[in-house]
């Protein structure tokens, strides 16, 4: 699971609503795989990023060199965009968990794939 994805995910446990974001990320296995740098795509993503959530997740993965926020003129700033490209797209959690901050419910990440399915009780209406 990439950090861009983590930034778009929220807990859907019943009753939790917007307090389910962001999910608390823990990882037991992380890998870095190079992805071709596409500055236009990265620049497009910058306005969609919730920075506090990104910094928190990056912190849990002990990543260095994570920009603290968008900078003036980021669209043309290759250094900034390359750093964001790395953080958002090249770091992958292979094994780990995502935890709902409100309910404590844990969603596992296995082989890089989060499992967001809820149990019977959690979906009962």
Interface residues toward other proteins, by CB under 8 A = 1-2, 4-5, 7-12, 18, 21, 35-36, 38, 40-41, 44, 48, 50, 89, 110-120, 123-124
Shortest reach from residue 71's CB to other proteins, in Å = 21
Nearer to other proteins, 32 or 113 (CB): 113
Tell the residue number behind the tokens 């969609």, with chain if given: 48
Put the strands of the sheet holding 106-110 in their side by side order: 24-32, 91-99, 106-110
C-alpha span between 50 and 117 (Å, rounded): 24
Residue (15 or 64) nearer to other proteins, CB:
15
Closest contact distance (angstroms) between CB of 2 and other proteins is 6
C-alpha to C-alpha distances, 106 to 10, 26, 71, nearest whole angstrom: 12, 10, 34
Token pair in block for residue 51: 């920075």
12 or 83: CB nearest other proteins = 12
Backbone phi, then psi, for 94, in 5-degree steps? -90, -45
CB of 28 to other proteins, least distance (A): 15
């Amino acid at each position: 699971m990439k950090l861009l994805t983590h930034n778009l995910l929220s807990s859907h446990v019943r009753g939790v609503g917007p307090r389910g974001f962001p999910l608390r990320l823990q990882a037991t296995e992380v890998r870095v795989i190079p992805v071709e740098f596409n500055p236009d795509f990265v620049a497009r993503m910058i306005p969609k990023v919730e920075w506090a959530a990104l910094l928190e997740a990056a912190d849990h993965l002990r990543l260095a060199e994570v920009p603290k926020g968008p900078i003036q003129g980021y669209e043309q700033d290759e250094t900034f965009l390359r750093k964001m490209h790395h953080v958002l797209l090249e770091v992958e959690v292979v094994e780990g968990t995502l935890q709902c901050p409100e309910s404590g419910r844990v969603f596992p990440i296995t082989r890089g794939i989060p499992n967001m399915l809820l149990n019977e009780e959690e979906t009962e209406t």
